[in-house]
Amino acid sequence: MSDLLYGVSAYPDADAGLMKEAGIEWVRLDFPFPFKEKAGGEPSEDYLRAREEARRQQEKGLKVMGVTPLHGIGIFRPDADGVMRMQWESFAPDWMGQPGTPRFNESYRKTCAFMGGDLRGTVRMWQVSNEQDIVQFAGPLSPRQACGFILSGAQGLKESDPFLTVGTNTAGSPLAYYLYGRLFAGPLRILDYCGVDGYYGTWAPGGPNAWGPRIAELFEMVQVKILVNEWGYASAGGLMTAEESASGAHVCQHKKWRYAWGEGHTPQGQGDFVREAFRSFLPHRDKLLGVFFYRWEDQESCWQCGAPDCPAETAWGLVDLQSRPKPSYHAFKKGVALLG
């Protein structure tokens, strides 16, 4: 067993045996808010289902990294003119108060403290919320408020069990560097790892060789182990024209990517990307906590816009919709062996 952590985001019925053959031992699981009416109240049905799923994954021999509740998410829907625009959907229960306020942060601390204790022995590692450096997940929170939100959740988890591994992730936007400064250089240094997400060649320019310099830069900055929290390369989707790209429209608008790498967004192109990314990880192995690929399987429709033919969220898997391994699966397996 490697000292590095290898994980994926996956559906409940994912083939654990096939995962473990590739060296994947961890699954990342989102948890909803556990209470509807008050902290310590009756657990919600959604939370109980997520808790049961975590226990089933554990029974299959997988380890669970939990994601604490998101306070909302931005989804893309067409306006009256057919232009895709982001709409904020709040998940926060009314009893918690307004996000960004001391009341909300205290409620979130209590919520995370409950979850850390309730899931003790099942969830060993936590990611506090998700990508609070971009508006799609931060919503109305300013960067300063987002840091308070993250630290409140981390405090709650550590209060429940100081031996939990706790961190957070960023999408790698320019605002991420503000978060790194407040979270890792501030007076309350309770995060065990620095998570970073990156989709070079798909959501962002560049290619797999961008990972090595990125890991080195972050480790020098924060001085804790780096978790490549989300990474991957889409195996489907065409490329925008120069005119379409210049419009600034979201991928869901044109159902095409703004960026590509190698032979483009094909299954073989995805496999090549995974192979080269592991080669970029290798010189910085000592700085890594692990790598969590996004994601295990392809999806039938895009969660951002709902369309089945939108590449934004449909073709990221190491296996296809029928759970058949893609070239990226075999590249991932070889990559785990490369890192030892």
Going residue by residue through the chain, which has 340 residues, state the pLDDT in tens, using 9 for 90 and above. Answer: 469 999 999 999 999 999 999 999 999 999 999 998 888 888 999 999 999 999 999 999 999 999 999 999 999 888 888 888 999 999 999 999 999 999 999 999 999 999 999 999 999 999 999 999 999 999 999 999 999 999 999 999 999 999 999 999 999 999 999 999 999 987 778 999 999 999 999 999 999 999 999 999 999 999 999 999 999 999 999 999 999 999 888 899 999 999 999 999 999 999 999 999 999 999 999 999 999 999 999 999 998 899 999 999 999 999 999 999 999 999 999 999 999 8
> In whole angstroms, what is the distance from residue 59 CA to residue 57 CA?
5
Q: Which of 210, 199, 197, 195 is nearest to 280 (CA)?
A: 210
pLDDT recorded at residue 191:
97
Domain boundaries, the chain: 5-339
Provide the pLDDT for residue 80.
87
The domain over range 5-339 is classified in CATH as 1.10.1060.10: no
Is 189 strand, coil or helix? coil
What's the Cα-to-Cα distance from 272 to each of 147, 322, 330, rounded to whole Å? 36, 22, 10
Cα distance between residue 8 and residue 104, in whole Å: 30
Distance from C-alpha of 262 to C-alpha of 175, rounded to nearest angstrom: 29
Give Cβ neighbours of residue 270 (< 8 Å, ≥ 6 apart): 232, 233, 234, 235, 315, 326, 327, 328
Distances in whole angstroms, Cα of residue 246 to Cα of each of 135, 147, 203, 287: 21, 33, 15, 37
Tell me the C-alpha distance between 148 and 99, whole Å: 10
Question: Beta strand 165-170 with 123-127: parallel, antiparallel or unpaired?
Answer: parallel
Q: Tokens for 212? A: 């090595």
Q: What is the pLDDT of residue 2?
A: 66
